[in-house]
Amino acid sequence: MRPVQADAGLGAPPRPGSAGAPQERPDRDPARPGLGLHPLRAHHPDLVRGVDLNAEAPAGIDAEVERFRRRLGARPVERLDAAPPLLRASVLVPIFTPRVGPHLLFTRRTEEVLTHKGQISFPGGQQEAGDGSPLETALRESYEEIGLKPGRVEPVGELDDVLSAVSGFVVSPHVGLIRGPAEDLRPAPTEVRSLLLVPIDTLLDPAVYRSEARSWMGAEHTIHFYTVGDDVIWGLTALILHQFLALWRAA
């Protein structure tokens, strides 16, 4: 069955002044309040209790990320054609490495955005004319959405392009290792309600995953769901996550 998902918040129109390569926050940009980090309610609560994201990762975790980097680099990346009417977009898949193990960072969208209100997604958005590459798009959008400075992102590798058939986007996911204190992140209050951290081990637990076969436009499609406590990661975000976890498991 062909894996095609609903889009996860990539259909919003470009924000004024957001074109161009990633830049540091200008002085005229008002400071954003820190909304804090709110772990998803994990299947095993102890996995997210007492997480210190400022602590240096032990050598074992860095070695785990390095194996994953080599795994990504050893495989060809599948590119999809984004000819009109399709549009191109990028997302960042951010890895944090506290002492208790690697986590993925997600955003929870506000109720003020035009589409996909309250849903969980990776930071990202539509490619703009000034972006020099899909990675630049992911970094620019991550800076605009959560205040993540591009210099803090260590590129790890690329996942295969995914198609959001509903919204008409071809999305390029880029995995990045985030260095430095998580408390410095400043979500854009009109777009991001909170930042969510989930241990990768939790997402690998079969108990949190299910899939459904659904018919759409005369074809069968696999829809992925990751249920962590009361929260559900689905749609395009789950499709990207499913690809990430398969490669992480194989590294």
The two three-digit tokens of residue 177, written as one number:
């290792």
- Segment 182-186 long-range contacts (CB within 8 Å, at least 24 positions apart): 182/37, 182/53, 182/54, 182/96, 182/105, 183/34, 183/36, 183/37, 183/53, 183/54, 184/147, 185/34, 185/37, 185/146, 185/147, 185/148, 186/31, 186/32, 186/33, 186/34, 186/35, 186/146, 186/147
- Check whether 231 has a pLDDT greater than 90: no
Span 187-217, pLDDT tens digits = 898 999 888 889 999 999 999 999 999 887 7
Tens-digit pLDDT profile for residues 141-175? 999 999 999 999 999 999 999 998 777 899 999 99
Q: Which residue has the higher pLDDT, 184 or 95?
A: 95
Domains, the chain: 45-250 (3.90.79.10)
Question: Between these two residues, 116 and 32, which has the higher pLDDT value?
Answer: 116
**Digit-coded pLDDT (tens) for 119-141:** 899 999 999 999 999 999 999 99
